[in-house]
Chains A and B, each alone.
Chain A
Amino acid sequence: MGKKVALTGNEAAAHAIRQINPDVIAAFPITPSTPIPQAVAQFIADGEMDTELVTVESEHSAMSACIGAAAAGGRVMTATSANGYALMWEMLYIASGMRLPIVMAVVARALSSPLNIHGDHSDIMGGRDTGWIQLISENSQEAYDNLIQAVKIAENKDVMTPALVAQDGFNTSHTIEIWELEDDQKVKEFIGEYEPLYPMLNTDEPVTHGAWAPPNWYFEHKMNQLRGLLNAKDVVEKVGKEFGDAFGRYYGLYEAYKLDDAEYVIVAAGSVCGTTKDVVDGLRENGVKAGLLKVRLFRPFPYKELAETLQSAKAIAVLDRVSPAGAQGGPLFTEIRSALYDTPSRAPVINYTYGLGGRDTQPRHISSVFETLKRIVETGKVEKQFDCLNLRGEWR
């Protein structure tokens, strides 16, 4: 058992990075993830880490430096948020295409405009197709645990794919919670030594990284890359179990909260799941069969496993912390609904956008979702497939 500490989500990420002690970190500050590299810089100054911290002039440069260091053969990490993540865009694809297992802490935040520094999932959802593994954390404990596991997942020989671990800006990153900090040595043993496949610094076997592939090669390389990303699903499960064996907290692809016989189900990811669990508990006490499916692994999307857990549901609401931006619904909604199409379930699935730009989502808002689900089952009618939670004025 670890030591109980009362620290923020950002500090949880920073302690994970301290224990991982990567060879290189290249980072640029951006709210709300700034405290992560800041704390890391302090750890290095205090002699608790020997990571090479590269301070750069932008996030584009940060990811570029990470790619160079990872191609050289180093274990590499970074942290960012929102517009910083967006500025990395080009390099995110290059990191995944070059199969460099960089691990990044993302403190999820709204994208401008209007300028807003608070939490939502606009950044990570926008980057969902950059070829990175995406793990979403509910709280500080998960932000810490997921970062440690992400190193092992990304560096697995069958995966060799960069991974991001998201936590919600401010809801988690700046909130002090009690969580368990594990022993430094135990964490180091858990992740083990990194053995890069083709390090550029190995002058005995010279290699070229980042070469071009003409039309008669590119397609094969992209599908080879996809296989690596898809392989991550089984590795996430395996590492989640190993982590449980080592530290007592077990992880899977998702968390099924009171889902076995649930009829009214909310599907969500991130800190809103904590609020939803409270509401589910209250409803269960009153005999209402409510449940939560918390999505932990968003990329690769474990569509089969998620759809299976939803088979008892009579009505489902998917919560997306991002605008659908012109799609039928938010990204979690469209993928969940698509996954259900291949199963016997024909439960109605509705979608909510919530929490944009740090808008509060309280138990009463989650309760209203369950009430809507009950009404749908009672009347057999879906009045609104898409709606907003805690928006001023009715969405129409």
Chain B
Amino acid sequence: MAEKLLNWDEVLIGGVIKDPGNSREYETGSWRVERPVWNPDTCIQCMFCWVYCPDSAITVDENGKMTGIDYTYCKGCGICVEQCPTKPKSLKMILEAEAKGKTEEELRKEVFSSEK
């Protein structure tokens, strides 16, 4: 979603935002250097990651279950990994470069195979 850039005499006075929720237009996923990878097999659905994620990038289904990570907004801060209480952790950070060209399934196997 490309934002429309307004001229100085078109912007709303005082930087007021009339259409709440427009931070959705700001794709913080572009900042990411590292990314969390999720392991549904060990996840206990405690939702700590969802509570602590500063970008609301933990996705949840209609039953309130964690379903993964929205990489459009996940900026790779690693807070979810820090908070995940399972041993071993159900979220792990990898370098963004290592994720290139791989599906989520492939990444999961690669990251969590040693723990199976």
Contact = CB atoms under 8 A, between A and B. Distances in A.
A198 B18 contact: yes
A213 B16 contact: no
Contacts of A227: 8-9
B20 A206 contact: yes
A206 to B, nearest CB: 5
A220 B18 contact: no
Interface band, chain A: 20 to 34
A18 interface: no
A226 to B, nearest CB: 9
A160 B16 CA distance: 13
B15 A160 contact: no
Interface stretch (A94-102, A232-240, A262-270): A94-102
Interface band, chain B: 10 to 19
A219 interface: yes
Interface string A67-92: 00000000000000000000000000
A213 B10 CA distance: 15
Contacts of B14: 97-100, 160, 198, 209, 221, 225
B17 interface: yes
B63 interface: no
Interface string B9-37: 11101111110100000100000000000
Contacts of A206: 20
Nearest to A223: B8
Nearest to A100: B14
Contact of A217 (B9, B11, B13, B16): B11
A208 interface: yes
A198 B20 CA distance: 13
A210 B13 contact: no
A205 B16 CA distance: 12
A243 B5 CA distance: 41
A327 interface: no
Which 8 pairs from chain A and chain B are nearest by CB? A99-B14, A208-B17, A223-B8, A220-B8, A98-B14, A198-B16, A99-B13, A221-B15
Interface of A: 97-100, 160, 197-198, 205-211, 213-214, 216-217, 219-221, 223-225, 227-228
Interface of B: 5-11, 13-18, 20, 26
